Structures are given as C-alpha cells and as structure tokens.
Chain A
C-alpha cells in the first residue's frame, strides 16, 4: 500500500528550548506533586491547584508561554489507565 507523507510544516509559534525547565522539574518535582506549575527559563513562575490560575498569573507577569506541567507522583506509569 502506498502511503502519503504526513503534512508537517515549520511551526507558526516560536520554538522554545525547554532544557532548563526540564532540569528544574527533575530537581523539584517531588515538592509539587498534584500541583500545576508554570516554568520558564528554568525557573518556577507560579504554582497552584488549577491550570487556568497558574497560566493567568504567568501571563500577568508578562510570561506569555510558560511550560505548564501537572506534576505527577513518582509511581511507575502504564498507559493502561483506570
């Protein structure tokens, strides 16, 4: 069967290197289990109970595109949810 290639284009939003945000998560994840955190440039911008409040707070501080993470506990993960 002949398959067509997927249509992929350069992103319309600027690519942001999240390496420093990943490093922050690796170092601090256990302190924020169950919370939403907003990260930018390797720093915590805000943390809270809901994604909406965390994102709005970040944008009020002038950070339009924080990385939003719902921090999970460190139990092993399986795709077999429920």
Chain B
C-alpha cells in the first residue's frame, strides 16, 4: 500500500466542544457599524449559507416581498432571501451572498459551500472535535 504524505499548514485551530455539531463563531456585517456575532453549523452538504430570519432583523436588512430562492432538502423545500453582506470568520472576512430563511421557525444558522467553504481551506478531525482553517494563499 502506497500512502502519500500530505501536509498542509493552517493558521487557525478551532475546538468545538459540542460533539453533535461543528459549530463556528461568525460575524455578519451589513455595514461598518452594524454587525452581529452568531454561531453557525458547518454543513458540507448544504449549497448555501443560510441564517435565521431574526439575524437579518438584527442587521437592519429588510426582507420584503416573496422570498426569491427555493432550497431543496431531503424531504421537501423551503424559501430564502439572498442578500450580499460581509462574513467574518477567525479574523478573515469576505463579501458574499448569504441567505436568510423566510420562515421564522428556521431556528439555526448553516455554513455551506458557496460563501463559506469556497473561501477557506478547511481541515477536520472530528474525532478530536477540531477544525483547522487557513487561506488558499497562506
């Protein structure tokens, strides 16, 4: 059996003590003076980053009219509003489109591929409940 050794440096190490979920602290920034620190669950199977509707209210982001994007799940679908804002994680930030759930019963924040995973290099050792994070150009 040939095994290639592969090492990759990461600038940040994050321990998540909740063994049921990979939870990451993120900051949502809508402008220079309006931001909120929340908890997101890493979900590599999710296409988008989707936040609770109440997060939009904290950021003074209006969610008017009908939600324009439909998201498929394993058992159905739901609607979300897409909005551009700045996402800050572990001292890095980028501007991207994130989504806010139309339903107030959507009670969690999801960090998916587009807008989160596609901006960072991520290493995961779930047995140790540790996530490693770095930039592509580090």
Chain A residues proximal to chain B, CB less than 8 Å: 5-13, 15-16, 18-19, 21-23, 25-26, 29, 50-52, 55, 65-70, 72, 74, 76-82
A3 to chain B, nearest CB (A): 9
A-B contact pairs, 5 of them (CB 8 A): A9-B92, A12-B29, A22-B16, A72-B108, A81-B78
Q: Is A12 within 8 A of B73, CB to CB? A: no
Q: Which of B58, B76, B93 makes the CB contact (< 8 A) with A12?
A: B93
Q: Which of B17, B74, B76 contacts A26 (CB 8 A)?
A: B17
Interface centre among A7, A13, A26, A81 (most CB of B within 10 A): A81
List chain B positions with a Cβ less than 8 A from chain A: 15-18, 20-21, 23, 25, 27, 29, 32, 35-39, 41, 43, 45-46, 52, 54-55, 57-58, 73-78, 86, 88, 90-95, 106-108, 110, 118-120, 135-137
Output the least CB separation between A81 and chain B (Å).
5
- Distance in angstroms between the alpha carbons of A55 and B55 in the assembled complex: 11
Instruction: Name B54's contact: one of A6, A19, A51, A76 (CB within 8 Å).
Output: A51
Interchain CB contact under 8 A, A11 and B88: yes
A67 to B77, CA, bound (A): 29
B73 touches A80 (CB 8 A): yes
| Bound-state Cα–Cα, A50 to B52, Å | 12
Residues of A within 8 A of B23 (CB): 22
